[in-house]
Chains A and B, each alone.
Chain A
């Protein structure tokens, strides 16, 4: 089975986020970029499928600061090929990413394309559905379990309330991963460092990035801390007393 994983890097929310001088975008100079958590799950799921059913995993990522380490980590987990797409991705939206990635992924002729179901900086929808359309493949998102049988995939799609829908799809298909079947495995630093010496990252240059389809942002801002909670202080006994009186006020006690 030929599996491709598309990963991207997103702003790390541990750091403070600032708006750039234009007032319409994030100040990227101040940001730390980390792998999109859901793409990490997609990468893990791809390796699990390879371990179960054999095949090859190709990890693809656009050029962001820190992308090499992300790709090498995928290799350390078990990815067979690493491809970095170069281009000015810093300000690119998902439509641009989808088009650029589709051009590269098409050549790989994958049976299965996995990517995270969403990312924290998606403003023009997640990349998966757009990528699928560019590749002419169907898309199923919010997937937390994958079984491959005979040219078909059974994807377990999550609905609210713990309900699961089993969707059957003929290969090839793009799946938006919500959670891998086990948490992304740890990769020791020494293993990544070893891989850095032996693995190579193939480079593909993207043609001019086409962001059409994304919305124009007139203003980006940080929300005012809306009406803040009334804070209760004191000793545990005093706080507990206040809570009990609130419970009584609202009628649950």
Chain B
């Protein structure tokens, strides 16, 4: 039994995901409260290079061909072995398509308690989770003996989990990865040749409030006038009004533009978590109680359909 805080690093096709850095930052803060070292756990194959930017005291690197890319069965088995052996105080996993797939299984398999949707830790080491669309917060002591915790972004800046200096790396053998039941057949790319909204500095986002497909043109007009790019929240993409590559949200892209102009978006957590790293969020929504106003810097209750045309005019005039 140690006091260590493990962080299960998430990576996809050679890139470390932002949530890993968020968790490393969280682990660092948590260790200030409860002590213990921050240990990054990296699973992969020939993937030592990914450890270079991790802000951790040390890295446990589990190498095995079956861990090259994430599959739930292999990752869960490998981690079960490691956690069972090392018995850390806390294991942080992402509340993501990777972490959430295995945390529950680990909990039952190892008989360890699990707290999910954790946004941050209090100074005295309590977990603080958000549920019910962000309307309710639940706080509690970290359960014993080893607390499994899945984390959502928003509580810590990814930069705080990055390091210029590569941490000490220990390669560990992984056994028991035969008879795997889940295999990755292939990845399917989203439509090629489209913009990468996560790299764009100016995003004009449309939500349910845009009401119908034809109105997206208004957003396109504004985007064109301003030199920005149109993106959307889940309802808009589900309807097929924008390509999946334009989805901003938990299951879409996380964006960090200079300006995020949200038109008719309520700001539900799945969307909010993907935009909290924006410099300036401006929200246009006729509902004064829309959660987006809590994370936006500026807002207006004006109907977007009343505002868009004058705005396009004024933008064009300003550009001269």
The listed residue (A124, A179, A220, A251) touching B115 by CB distance below 8 A is: A124
- Is A125 touching B103 in the complex (CB atoms < 8 A)? yes
- Is B141 touching A218 in the complex (CB atoms < 8 A)? yes
Q: Which residue of B lies closest to A231 (CB)?
A: B299
B188 cross-chain contacts in A, Cβ below 8 A: 156, 163-166
- Is B97 touching A179 in the complex (CB atoms < 8 A)? no
Tell me the complex Cα distance, A140–B181, Å.
11
Tell me the complex Cα distance, A33–B69, Å.
39
- Is B313 touching A240 in the complex (CB atoms < 8 A)? yes
Q: Does A21 contact B (CB under 8 A)?
A: no
A11 cross-chain contacts in B, Cβ below 8 A: 132
Say which size band chain B's interface belongs to: 35 or more
Tell me the complex Cα distance, A167–B101, Å.
13
Say which size band chain A's interface belongs to: 35 or more
Q: Does B117 contact A (CB under 8 A)?
A: yes
Most buried by B among A13, A118, A173, A247: A247
Chain B stretch 236-280: residues in CB contact (< 8 A) with chain A: 238, 243-245, 247, 250-254, 258-259, 279-280
Tell me the complex Cα distance, A232–B131, Å.
30
Tell me the complex Cα distance, A168–B186, Å.
9
B198 cross-chain contacts in A, Cβ below 8 A: 161
The listed residue (A139, A159, A166) touching B97 by CB distance below 8 A is: A159
Q: Which residue of B lies closest to A243 (CB)?
A: B311
B208 to chain A, nearest CB (A): 14
Q: Does B172 contact A (CB under 8 A)?
A: no
Chain B stretch 113-135: residues in CB contact (< 8 A) with chain A: 113-117, 126-127, 129-135
Q: Does B173 contact A (CB under 8 A)?
A: no
- Is A236 touching B114 in the complex (CB atoms < 8 A)? no
Q: Does B171 contact A (CB under 8 A)?
A: no
Q: Does A30 contact B (CB under 8 A)?
A: no
Tell me the complex Cα distance, A160–B296, Å.
23
Q: Does B155 contact A (CB under 8 A)?
A: no
B226 cross-chain contacts in A, Cβ below 8 A: 247, 252-253
Q: Does B232 contact A (CB under 8 A)?
A: no
Chain A stretch 70-92: residues in CB contact (< 8 A) with chain B: none
B261 to chain A, nearest CB (A): 8
Tell me the complex Cα distance, A162–B127, Å.
31
- Is B140 touching A216 in the complex (CB atoms < 8 A)? yes
- Is A13 touching B72 in the complex (CB atoms < 8 A)? no
Tell me the complex Cα distance, A252–B73, Å.
46
Chain B stretch 61-113: residues in CB contact (< 8 A) with chain A: 69-73, 96-97, 100-105, 107-109, 111-113
Of A1-9, A57-65, A190-198, A222-230, the stretch lying at the interface with chain B is A222-230
Taking A213-B112, A216-B143, A217-B139 as contacts, is the C-beta distance between A244 and B314 under 8 angstroms?
yes
- Is B298 touching A138 in the complex (CB atoms < 8 A)? no
A157 cross-chain contacts in B, Cβ below 8 A: 97
Tell me the complex Cα distance, A68–B293, Å.
38
A244 cross-chain contacts in B, Cβ below 8 A: 311, 314-315, 318
B127 cross-chain contacts in A, Cβ below 8 A: 215
B145 cross-chain contacts in A, Cβ below 8 A: none
- Is A253 touching B310 in the complex (CB atoms < 8 A)? no
- Is A250 touching B105 in the complex (CB atoms < 8 A)? no
Tell me the complex Cα distance, A109–B108, Å.
21
Q: Does A241 contact B (CB under 8 A)?
A: yes
Show 14 residue pairs from A and B whose CB-CB distance is below 8 angstroms, ordered by the A residue. A133-B107, A138-B182, A158-B251, A160-B96, A163-B187, A168-B185, A216-B140, A218-B139, A222-B137, A225-B294, A229-B281, A236-B306, A237-B314, A252-B201
Chain B residues in the interface with A (C-beta under 8 A): 12, 17, 69-73, 96-97, 100-105, 107-109, 111-117, 126-127, 129-141, 143, 147, 150, 181-191, 198, 201-202, 226-228, 238, 243-245, 247, 250-254, 258-259, 279-283, 292-302, 306-307, 309-311, 313-315, 318-319
